[in-house]
């Protein structure tokens, strides 16, 4: 999920309600609040809790919600904030893999800290996100299975960009209450075909209804040509969607009628005239594709 801001930089909670309702009306069957797209590292601890609680209130139990709970390096501090996030009613609290161990620390250290964190967080369901900030730390299928086998880890947002890794991680969760959600839209159809529970991608902050359509129809042989068109649309537009994000996503949602601002807290590139033209073209192409597929 994105976090809408007012022009003065404060969180726009009315806009957050509107955005949440837009995701749901588009067919989203789950939401990831307080994530990198939400500019979570640029929110205060209080704001993170307020955002998650607001989303929980806006969804009113209609779909499951997960949200990030690890920011401090100290495990006890992490555990305390995980409990606060869990108290909002989310289905799982997400652990950022790169927060648990430094880049030069071994997997054995990472593993032990996760086990320690599990002990400190009662029976709260946890999930993983291989967030690229502060650096990308991938979790191997073998590691993931260790944690899934505890019956405490139910969610994994994968950023490996490697379909073989994705397949192995899905297999690691077989027989457990666990779902893998791929962030890499280039592999969307392959991941869904391999048994991914869904997609968790920035493209859902541009055109959520098109992502939903792909999840609903990826294995429909009668729509194979259309599925390939949608997959190609996302694959061919990766660069423009990542450029000046999340500003560009907010701009695109404005064009679709949402009354949110393009204000962001995350430092990034400027939204140049050329970038605006590319995003305008992206939106036009999407609307044409939706019309062709009869997506309302």
- What is the residue-level pLDDT of the chain in tens, covering all 296 positions? 999 999 999 999 999 999 999 999 999 999 999 999 999 999 999 999 999 999 999 999 999 999 999 999 999 999 999 999 999 999 999 999 999 999 999 999 999 999 999 999 999 999 999 999 999 999 999 999 999 999 999 999 999 999 999 999 999 999 999 999 999 999 999 999 999 999 999 999 999 999 999 999 999 999 999 999 999 999 999 999 999 999 999 999 999 999 999 999 998 878 999 999 999 999 999 999 999 999 98
Total number of residues shown for the chain? 296
Report how far residue 9's alpha carbon sits from residue 279's, in angstroms, rounded to the nearest whole number.
23
Where b means 16+ CB within 10 Å and e means fewer, 254-288 reads: eeeebebbbbbebeeeebeeebeebbeebbeebee
Closest CA to 132 of 111, 164, 157, 152: 157
> Which H or E run includes 266?
none
- CATH class, domain 13-292, is alpha beta
Report how far residue 134's alpha carbon sits from residue 18's, in angstroms, rounded to the nearest whole number.
30
């Amino acid at each position: 999920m994105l976090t809408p801001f007012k022009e003065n930089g404060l969180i726009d909670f009315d806009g957050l309600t509107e955005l949440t309702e837009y995701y749901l009306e588009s067919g989203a069957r789950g939401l990831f609040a307080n994530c990198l797209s939400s500019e979570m590292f640029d929110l205060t601890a209080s704001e993170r809790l307020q955002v998650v609680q607001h989303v929980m209130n806006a969804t009113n139990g209609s779909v499951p919600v997960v949200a990030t709970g690890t920011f401090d390096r100290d495990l006890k501090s992490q555990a305390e904030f995980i409990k606060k996030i869990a108290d909002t009613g989310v289905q799982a609290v997400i652990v950022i893999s790169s927060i648990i161990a430094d880049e030069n620390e071994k997997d054995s250290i990472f593993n032990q800290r996760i086990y320690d964190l599990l002990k400190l967080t009662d029976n709260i369901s946890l999930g993983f996100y291989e967030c690229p900030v502060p650096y990308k730390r991938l979790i191997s299928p073998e590691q993931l299975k260790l944690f899934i086998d505890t019956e405490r880890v139910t969610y994994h947002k994968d950023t490996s960009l490697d379909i073989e890794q994705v397949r192995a991680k899905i297999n690691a969760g077989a027989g457990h209450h666990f779902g893998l959600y791929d962030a890499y839209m280039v592999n969307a159809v392959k991941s869904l075909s391999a048994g991914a529970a869904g997609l968790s991608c920035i493209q859902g902050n541009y055109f959520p209804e098109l992502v939903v359509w792909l999840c609903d129809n990826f294995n429909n042989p009668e729509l194979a040509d259309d599925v390939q068109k949608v997959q190609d649309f996302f694959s061919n537009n990766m660069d423009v969607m990542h450029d000046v994000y999340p500003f560009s996503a907010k701009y695109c949602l404005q064009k679709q009628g949402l009354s949110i601002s393009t204000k962001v807290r995350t430092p990034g590139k400027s939204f140049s005239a050329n970038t605006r033209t590319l995003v305008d073209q992206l939106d036009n192409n999407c609307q044409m594709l939706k019309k062709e597929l009869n997506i309302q």
